[in-house]
Amino acid sequence: MTRYGMLSTYPPTKCGLATFTQSLERALTERGGDTAVIVRALDGPLGLAAGRRSEIADAELIPGDAASMRRAAAALDGCDVAIVQHEYGIYGGRDGDEVVTLLGMLGVPVIVVLHTVLPAPSPHQRTVLEDVCARAQSVVVMTRSARDVLLATYRVAPDKVVVIPHGVAALHTPGGVRSHAAKRRVLTWGLISRGKGIEWGIRAMDRLRHLDVEYVVAGQTHPKVRAAEGEAYREHLGAVIRELGLEHRVALDGRYLDASELDGLVGTADVVLLPYESTEQATSGVLAEAVAAGIPVVATDFPHARELLSGGAGIIAAHGDPASIAEAVGTILESDAAAQRMRRAAARDASGSSWPVVADGYRRLVKSAMSTRAA
């Protein structure tokens, strides 16, 4: 029987990290007897836009609040191991450096999961990540490229670093390739923010008017973005749609979809489009889920896409280039044979990333950490 301590954002916070942590927690505790203690990282004091109290979390970590840090440390120290999700933006202090203080308060073994590995960090960002890794027994990254960047850019012991892929749910896949007589659907989903490059996807649709295709963008504006600038980015996207006269070909669905709603929507897609502007994104949960669902993917050239699509599950397009994106999407929509090849490649490549398989990878790390502590 294992008691897992988990530090991260967590629902009702709406973000990819929160969803990841909840999925990992459920996968780890599905076996009888194993339990989890959730320490939820908040943006600020309860009652603010940072998020209401979770009914599941056992403690909450508030930026700049020493008392909450002590409570968080005590909750994690009551477990066999602490699994800590790391992103620069979720903890208090400069570049989230308060998490380093918290890790220094723990007596239990720590496994750190890195969701972002910057290839060109600021000096302070480098120091924070190196300090976080120094306090961990194991450091998890989700791609081989992230491991390469980590070891080339930061002072981290190589024997600590383990690659475990981003877990994916068993999304339902479409029942075969659609007829060209039917309207085709290109889908982008996830929390919306600048940098997702959605305007380039919209402009690509302008170049595909010869096809009966619609582009659906599903997801709320990221809560932090909405707090800082309201719906300015979504309004910008609406202006681009109107400028190009694409009101009947592009839909912005601003709902936050639950798992069953997302499952249903993904099952209607012919192509998943990830036109991200970042050239450095080490991990994309949406990319992993799209491949697992067997949907052909068009993505811009970021590290996770290069790695995950190298086996043929999709096509890499140029950043900020509607012509390149349109050409890639058109290749899939106009060739059933190409789409089928990508679906087969996706089924092969996603076989090792289901949540039960991923959870087993974490269990092996936890067993090693606990045995080392006992010795």
DSSP for 64-120 reads T-HHHHHHHHHHHHTSSEEEEEE-TTSSSSGGGTHHHHHHHT--S-EEEEES---SS
Q: What is the mean pLDDT of residues 261-276?
A: 93
For 357: left if phi > 0, alpha if psi spans -120 to 50, otherwise beta; the answer is alpha
pLDDT on residue 348:
84
Q: What is the mean pLDDT of residues 166-188?
A: 67
Residue 87 has pLDDT above 60, yes or no: yes
pLDDT on residue 250:
97
Tokens of 299: 């993505």
Query: Cα–Cα distance between 79 and 60 in angstroms, integer?
Result: 16
What contacts 244, CB < 8 A, 6 or more positions away? 202, 203, 205, 206
pLDDT on residue 177:
43
pLDDT on residue 45:
57
pLDDT on residue 182:
66
pLDDT on residue 53:
54
- Can 3-167+354-374 and 184-349 be said to share one CATH topology? yes
Strand, coil or helix: 5: strand
* pLDDT over 70 percentage in the chain: 92
Residue 49 has pLDDT above 50, yes or no: no
Strand, coil or helix: 34: coil
User: 35 near 29, Cβ under 8 Å?
Assistant: yes
Beta strands in the chain (DSSP E): 3-8, 35-41, 59-61, 81-86, 110-114, 138-141, 161-163, 184-189, 213-218, 250-253, 271-274, 297-300, 314-317
User: 99 near 131, Cβ under 8 Å?
Assistant: no
Query: Cα–Cα distance between 314 and 298 in angstroms, integer?
Result: 6
Residue 372 has pLDDT above 80, yes or no: no
User: 8 near 17, Cβ under 8 Å?
Assistant: yes
User: 138 near 144, Cβ under 8 Å?
Assistant: no
pLDDT tens digits along 3-31: 999 999 999 888 889 999 999 999 999 97
Look-up: residue for tokens 């909750």?
Answer: 75
pLDDT tens digits along 296-331: 999 999 999 999 999 999 999 999 999 999 999 999
* pLDDT over 90 percentage in the chain: 76
Q: What is the mean pLDDT of residues 115-129?
A: 96
Q: What is the mean pLDDT of the chain?
A: 90
Q: What is the mean pLDDT of residues 260-269?
A: 89
Look-up: residue for tokens 């992230």?
Answer: 146
The CATH architecture annotation of domain 184-349 reads 3-Layer(aba) Sandwich (3.40)
Q: What is the mean pLDDT of residues 179-184?
A: 62
For residue 374, what pLDDT band results from cuts at 50, 70 and 90?
low
What percentage of the chain's residues is helix, strand, coil (to nearest 5)? Answer: 40, 20, 40
Residue 55 has pLDDT above 70, yes or no: no
Fold of 3-167+354-374: Rossmann fold (3.40.50)
- The residue length of the chain stands at 375
Q: What is the mean pLDDT of residues 269-289?
A: 91
Higher pLDDT, 67 or 181: 67
pLDDT on residue 353:
86
For residue 28, count other CB atoms closer than 10 A to its CB.
Answer: 22
For residue 258, what pLDDT band results from cuts at 50, 70 and 90?
confident
Q: Any idea where the domains of the chain sit in the sequence? A: 3-167+354-374, 184-349
For residue 197, count other CB atoms closer than 10 A to its CB.
Answer: 20
Tokens of 172: 């339902």
For 33: left if phi > 0, alpha if psi spans -120 to 50, otherwise beta; the answer is left
pLDDT tens digits along 199-214: 999 999 999 999 999 9
Q: Which of 55-69, 249-263, 327-341 has the highest mean pLDDT?
A: 327-341
Q: How far apart are the first and last CA of the chain?
A: 19
pLDDT on residue 318:
97
User: 203 near 240, Cβ under 8 Å?
Assistant: yes
pLDDT tens digits along 100-118: 999 999 999 999 999 999 9
Query: Cα–Cα distance between 94 and 114 in angstroms, integer?
Result: 18
From the number of C-beta atoms within 10 Å of its C-beta (0-12, 13-18, 19+), residue 279 rates as exposed
For residue 375, what pLDDT band results from cuts at 50, 70 and 90?
low
Residue 162 has pLDDT above 80, yes or no: yes
Residue 181 has pLDDT above 80, yes or no: no
